[in-house]
Amino acid sequence: MTVLLTILLVFAILIAFLLFLALITKKEYAIEREIVINKSTQVVFDYVKLIKNQEKYNVWVMKDPNVKIDYMGIDGTKGFVSAWEGNKQAGKGEQEIKEINNGKGLNIEIRFEKPFENIGQTYFTTTPVSENETSLKWQMIGKNKFPLNLMNLIIDGLLGKDMQKSLVNVKGILETI
């Protein structure tokens, strides 16, 4: 009986600690990755502004080869929406181009439905390094409600790794065309 009580007490202390940690962890997160691509800024921008191109470079889109994607509107323009539904890794949600600054950047709102509901902002920014070199920056900004904000302690490592892989994919694609 004392072994069972000890296990329950340790479990209760662990849960209390995690809840306390969630109370003091900020709810906002920001992840940023960047890569230099040996192409002009306009070429890089024209590629990333097309949401359909994510099927070729975005590791999250590629996690489910059977993902169902619906497109609404004109790709690469404000208001374009890409809605997806896939396996547990892909989840369900949609993304919408909210703002475009031609040749410089775009803002995409991501609305997740599954595995949990959340809204985030994604920014792609292209900055010339030289005539044929461009810095492509990818940022994700959002909030997680209590107690899911506990994930903010590890979110940069989890999502940042996939963002970097996706940027390497963009670089590989663009530098071979």
The full set of domain ranges for the chain reads 28-174
In the CATH hierarchy, which top-level class contains the domain 28-174? alpha beta
pTM: 0.88
d(CA 138, CA 106): 10
Tens digit of each residue's pLDDT, the chain (177 residues)? 688 888 888 888 888 787 777 777 788 999 999 999 999 999 999 999 999 999 999 998 888 889 999 999 999 999 999 999 988 888 999 999 999 999 999 999 999 999 888 999 999 999 999 999 999 999 999 998 888 887 888 888 888 999 999 999 999 999 998
Residue with tokens 């994919």: 169
